Structure 1
Amino acid sequence: MRPFGETIWTIDGDDVRMFNVLPFTTRMTVVRLESGGLWILSPVQPNPDRRYAVDALGPVEHLVAPNKIHSIGIKPWTALYPAAKVWASPAFAGRHPDIAVEALLTNDVAAPWSPEIDHCAIEGHAVLDEVVFLHKPSGTLIITDLIQKHDAAGSSWLWRGVKRMIGVQGKDGGVPLDIKLCIRDRQAMRRSIEAILGWEFDNLVIAHGHCIQGGAKQEVSRAFAWLTGA
């Protein structure tokens, strides 16, 4: 567990393999709410050490799936903390009908943690139904797959080549090429990104790669300049 700011931590999980070939690092974000309860985004697979670290912070109240792909830890953590409520992205239930969800995080949903954590469901994409979050007390934007900055160290030559090709390698990474190519409604997606850039934040947590402490808004704006024209 790594502290990232005021009442916010990250925990790296086990690598997973995309298409059973390409290794992806995983990371979950833990926020302690004013209630003392915990809000966990994109939970990784639990193990004794991770569970001990989480339990030391407080009771788990909310488990959040930020898109329909990031589901790997929801069931295991729900089994460990059955009182926790599950919140999910708009298309999550369609892909995971076996997981009970408190609510789908469309843009008209007011969650009980909204005074501390804002959310924006990204509209206009044909495949990715991602929800982006703002942890207000620490000024941290939390993005899952929309921005990726994979570390090149330890990667195979194949994976390094793929990361360079799709624009997600290292600290200069950004929005993956495959995401750029699968937009259904460019104007709708642009409105979503402009709404996010209107938030007050200086830090960035992402699920895959290098996070940013300080100057994150400028970097996020750069990453989406191809869409916003900024």
Structure 2
Amino acid sequence: MALTSYISDQIWLCTYPIRLAGTKFEARMTTIRLASGLVMLHSPCHITASIAEEISAIGSVGHIVVPGNFHHLHASSAQIAFPGASTWICPGIERKRPDLKYDGILGDVAPADWAGEIDQVLVQGTRLMREVAMYHRASQTLILVDLIENFTDATPNTGGALKLWFKYVLRMWGKPGPAPEYRMGWNDRNSLAMSLRRILAWDFRKIVLSHGDLIDQDAHGVAAAAWSKILGFDDLSAREA
């Protein structure tokens, strides 16, 4: 594992392996340097000594963000590596991980520590999944974990079982869309659609996501199409919205 620059002097990424229900694929940590010089770790990977050294070269870690209820496994290792950082969690993590100490629960309003730099929306309306979407204004980058997954033939380090599942069962191979757990857990589509419309109001040009290929072309159209069934329009009108 190693950090790679995504937006010069602002955003770095690190992919790491995941095994889940017999499948293997990768997840992605996003590292952001704020205007204050402090660093935010978004959906942290397991923090090894070498990764900690790379991160520390960027700046002092001030914030550890646990943005979704399926993205908490390595938060503790980040806290151990950077004990002076504040930890912010998605609602529900406090029940799922009562052992995890935290400083604040994320919602629709950004904390003062990054208000004006990063906007956020708490995505509601699902039983199984919760997520706080973030928008990095300076680079016009939308940062997600599970609201969009984007597995294709070009995606590295994906096992055959995952390809079989996504290509022939879910029909999501090469078609960006919400994680399967979202589809299984919609219970209030109106609330979910309201959250997604707030995200689509942002002027993002790129999407960093946890699983699959980054989206650097027609990002706004891709997101609208990925969420079209929830929003109630077809793919064509989504891309024209």
CA distance in 2, matches of 1:120, 1:154: 30
1:163 corresponds to which residue?
166
Q: Give, in angstroms, the shift of residue 168 of structure 1.
A: 3.6
1:47 corresponds to which residue?
48
Give the letter aligned to residue 208 of structure 1: H
Per-residue Cα deviation, 1:15-56 (whole angstroms, up to 9, x for no partner): 12113x111311100110011010110000112332221111
Q: Give, in angstroms, the shift of residue 2 of structure 1.
A: 1.9
1:37 corresponds to which residue?
38
Q: Give, in angstroms, the shift of residue 111 of structure 1.
A: 4.2
Pair 1:159–1:138, CA change in 2 (3 A)? same
Q: Give, in angstroms, the shift of residue 178 of structure 1.
A: 3.8
Give the letter aligned to residue 215 of structure 1: D
Equivalences for 1:111-190 in 2 at 5 Å? 111-152=112-153, 155-164=158-167, 165-170=169-174, 172-190=175-193
CA distance in 2, matches of 1:156, 1:207: 16
1:103 aligns with 2:107: no
Equivalences for 1:179-218 in 2 at 5 Å? 179-218=182-221
| SS at 1:188 equivalent | helix
Q: Give, in angstroms, the shift of residue 5 of structure 1.
A: 1.7
1:80 aligns with 2:65: no
Per-residue Cα deviation, 1:46-75 (whole angstroms, up to 9, x for no partner): 123322211110000000001122112210
Q: How many residues align?
A: 227
Runs of 4+ in 1 over 6 A off after TM superposition: none
Q: Is the 8 A contact 1:90 1:104 kept in 2?
A: yes
Q: Is the 8 A contact 1:167 1:173 kept in 2?
A: no
Q: Give, in angstroms, the shift of residue 145 of structure 1.
A: 0.9
Give the letter aligned to residue 19 of structure 2: R
Q: Give, in angstroms, the shift of residue 154 of structure 1.
A: 5.1
1:16 corresponds to which residue?
18
1:57 corresponds to which residue?
58
Pair 1:163–1:122, CA change in 2 (3 A)? same
1:5 aligns with 2:20: no
Task: Give the TM-score normalised by structure 1.
Answer: 0.92
Pair 1:62–1:116, CA change in 2 (3 A)? same
Taking only the aligned residue pairs, the percentage that are identical comes to 26
Point out where structure 2 has 5 or more consecutive residues left out of the alignment: none
Per-residue Cα deviation, 1:135-168 (whole angstroms, up to 9, x for no partner): 1110000110111112445544332110112244
Per-residue Cα deviation, 1:151-200 (whole angstroms, up to 9, x for no partner): 44554433211011224424x33223442231110000000000000011
| SS at 2:58 equivalent | coil
Point out where structure 1 has 5 or more consecutive residues left out of the alignment: none
Task: Give the TM-score normalised by structure 2.
Answer: 0.88
CA-based RMSD: 1.6
Q: Is the 8 A contact 2:145 2:211 kept in 1?
A: yes
